């Protein structure tokens, strides 16, 4: 018998595909599924992703066949034909993607034939099989992107001219990463500083022509286990090599390492890469030096727990630990990570932070996560709105950094790259100051691990030099 998951934050495959397609400028998703699938995606995902709205093709405006009992008995192909005919009249788009839910997949509707009829009417259209029972929101992202690539000849003609400086970014899942727009922009800005061209593919910072140039890229970059199948497909079928990272970089230390790797792969001038990193290092040092008063005054060096998706929390955890000097106690990764990738993530963390006592747990059940947090007796909690209750129960500062986030609006904010770290510091500081407003100035932070003489055993801000 299956087990239930309390406070599940990983929606179904169909929802993952919907939020992926609707985040592509000019793309129109069309759901072939039962009544309510689209509404559930809007109410249970989009609206909980920093107040994400409907946009042009999402929410209550998402085209859907609203599969009913009649279609279950007699089949829903004719209903899909009718919906496609109406959708192209009402929703103007560059291309249309038919996404199938659970019931039509079980009934066996001939979706490819219906999609072909739309193509014969000179509309650019493809179909992707995305029944919810086949996987989670992460599998939906993988299926949607891979589906576009496999049927790309139905949408556009690749230029066929390679660009030796062009990079495609994969692994930041729209809406499942609450800060996806800001994170993609932060990574794009960081890469452009070393002379690379970037396809972010999703959101307002993606040019309309990016998907057409995707096959021209010299390199693909993966930030998540869920984007590895995409990069592997492109390597096999388009000859584009890829590099994989366990999460996006946060701050100068990580972003510098990342850019050196990319620069080497693209054979960019190393002096230009180092000059860009040095410039950003000076900027980060400037702001952190101005941040020091609050750091010591309010005792930022706390023992913390971090809960969220692997693509985002690993880089955040690493920055908080080094150079910021906070003390990691518990890292909970909530996405459905394949077993081989789990051991790789643990090994990578041990290489990053040798001797760290932080426990890495792979868990999505809210009740289990809350029990872990309470057991660890931490002093700072970063996670989703689901974890807020645990922070309130223990009276510790809380910072929302992962999906779902239901109590704040997120538009351009992001933590990735060089400048995203300043947003992280602002959010971290606001969370701690808001909770610690009653503390006496310049007292030793309750989160510092101290020896018998009262000195912290771990240096604060280890990466900052005067």
Domains 13-154 and 166-270 are alike in CATH topology? yes
Alpha-carbon torsion 148, 153, 159, 161, what sign?
positive
Q: Beta strands 125-129 and 327-333: pairing type? A: unpaired
What pLDDT, in 10s, does the model give residues 75-88?
788 999 999 999 99
If pLDDT is split at 50, 70 and 90, which confidence band does 463 have?
low
Whether residue 7 is predicted with pLDDT greater than 60 in this model: the reply is yes
Alpha-carbon torsion 141, 143, 146, 150, what sign?
negative
Of 106, 161, 115, nearest to 133 by C-alpha is 106
What's the distance, CA 344 to chain centroid?
Answer: 19
Tell me, which fold does domain 13-154 have in CATH? Rossmann fold (3.40.50)
Contact yes or no for 235/158 (Cβ under 8 A): no
Q: Which tokens go with 395? A: 């009276």
Give the architecture-level CATH label for domain 166-270: 3-Layer(aba) Sandwich (3.40)
**Predicted local confidence at residue 251, as pLDDT:** 98
**Predicted local confidence at residue 74, as pLDDT:** 77
Q: Which tokens go with 322? A: 């080094």
Rounded mean pLDDT, 407-415: 95
Of 28, 14, 21, 24, nearest to 90 by C-alpha is 28
If pLDDT is split at 50, 70 and 90, which confidence band does 412 have?
very high
Contact yes or no for 321/288 (Cβ under 8 A): no
Rounded mean pLDDT, 203-226: 93
Tell me, which fold does domain 283-437 have in CATH? Rossmann fold (3.40.50)
What's the distance, CA 405 to chain centroid?
Answer: 13
HSE of 441, CA atoms in CB hemisphere, 13 A: 2
Contact yes or no for 173/193 (Cβ under 8 A): no
Contact yes or no for 183/172 (Cβ under 8 A): yes
- DSSP label at residue 450: B
**Predicted local confidence at residue 438, as pLDDT:** 46
Distance in angstroms (rounded) separating the CA atoms of residues 267 and 196? 10
Contact yes or no for 353/321 (Cβ under 8 A): yes
Contact yes or no for 366/386 (Cβ under 8 A): yes
Whether residue 57 is predicted with pLDDT greater than 80 in this model: the reply is yes
Contact yes or no for 183/229 (Cβ under 8 A): no
Residue indicated by tokens 């693209």: 266
If pLDDT is split at 50, 70 and 90, which confidence band does 458 have?
low
Share of residues in the chain with pLDDT > 70 (%) = 93
Whether residue 233 is predicted with pLDDT greater than 90 in this model: the reply is yes
**Predicted local confidence at residue 401, as pLDDT:** 97
Domain ranges for the chain: 13-154, 166-270, 283-437
What pLDDT, in 10s, does the model give residues 129-142?
999 999 999 999 99
What pLDDT, in 10s, does the model give residues 266-294?
999 999 999 999 999 999 999 999 999 99
**Predicted local confidence at residue 209, as pLDDT:** 85
Q: Which of the residue ranges 122-126, 390-394, 451-455 would you say has the lowest mean pLDDT?
A: 451-455
Share of residues in the chain with pLDDT > 90 (%) = 79
What pLDDT, in 10s, does the model give residues 325-350?
999 999 999 999 999 999 999 999 99
**Predicted local confidence at residue 447, as pLDDT:** 41
If pLDDT is split at 50, 70 and 90, which confidence band does 462 have?
low
Q: What are phi and psi of 41, to 5 degrees?
A: -65, -40
If pLDDT is split at 50, 70 and 90, which confidence band does 455 have?
very low
What pLDDT, in 10s, does the model give residues 428-446?
999 999 886 644 333 334 4
**Predicted local confidence at residue 442, as pLDDT:** 35
Q: What is the mean pLDDT of the chain?
A: 91
């Amino acid at each position: 018998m299956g087990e239930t998951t309390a406070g599940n934050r990983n929606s179904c495959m169909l929802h993952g595909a919907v939020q992926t397609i609707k985040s592509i400028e000019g793309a129109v998703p069309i759901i072939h599924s039962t009544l309510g699938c689209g509404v559930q995606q809007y109410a249970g995902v989009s609206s909980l992703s920093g107040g994400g709205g409907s946009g042009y093709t999402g929410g209550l405006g998402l085209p859907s066949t609203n599969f009913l009992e009649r279609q279950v008995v007699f089949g829903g192909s004719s209903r899909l034909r009718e919906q496609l005919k109406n959708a192209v009249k009402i929703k103007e788009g560059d291309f249309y993607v038919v996404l199938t839910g659970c019931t039509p997949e079980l009934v066996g509707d001939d979706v490819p034939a219906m999609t072909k009829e739309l193509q014969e009417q000179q509309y650019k259209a493809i179909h992707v099989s995305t029944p919810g029972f086949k996987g989670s929101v992460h599998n939906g992202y993988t299926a949607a992107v891979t589906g576009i690539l496999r049927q790309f000849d139905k949408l556009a003609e690749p230029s066929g001219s390679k660009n030796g400086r062009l990079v495609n970014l994969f692994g930041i899942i729209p809406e499942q990463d609450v800060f996806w727009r800001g994170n993609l922009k932060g990574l794009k800005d960081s890469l452009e500083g070393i002379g690379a061209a970037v396809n972010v593919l999703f959101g307002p910072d993606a040019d309309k022509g990016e998907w057409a140039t995707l096959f021209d890229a010299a390199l693909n970059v993966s930030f998540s286990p869920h984007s590895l199948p995409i990069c592997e497909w492109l390597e096999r079928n388009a000859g584009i090599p890829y590099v994989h990272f366990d999460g996006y970089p946060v701050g100068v230390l990580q972003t510098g390492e990342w850019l050196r790797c990319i620069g080497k792969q693209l054979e960019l001038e190393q002096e230009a890469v180092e000059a860009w990193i040095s410039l950003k290092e000076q900027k980060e040092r400037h702001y952190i030096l101005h941040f020091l008063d609050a750091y010591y005054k309010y005792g930022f060096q706390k023992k913390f727990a971090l809960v969220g998706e692997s693509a985002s929390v690993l880089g955040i955890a690493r920055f908080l630990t080094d150079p910021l000097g906070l003390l990691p106690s518990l890292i909970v990764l909530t996405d459905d990570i394949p077993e081989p990738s789990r051991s790789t993530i643990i090994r990578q963390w041990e290489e990053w932070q040798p001797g760290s006592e932080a426990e890495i747990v792979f868990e999505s059940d809210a009740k289990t996560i809350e029990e872990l947090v309470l057991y660890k007796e931490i002093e700072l909690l970063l996670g989703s709105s689901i974890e807020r209750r645990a922070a309130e129960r223990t009276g510790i500062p809380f910072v929302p950094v992962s999906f779902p986030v239901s109590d704040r609006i997120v538009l351009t904010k992001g933590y990735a790259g060089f400048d995203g770290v300043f947003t992280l510091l602002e959010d971290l500081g606001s969370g701690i100051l808001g909770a610690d407003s009653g503390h006496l100035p310049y007292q030793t932070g309750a989160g510092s691990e101290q020896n018998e003489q009262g000195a912290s055993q771990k240096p604060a801000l280890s990466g900052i030099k005067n």
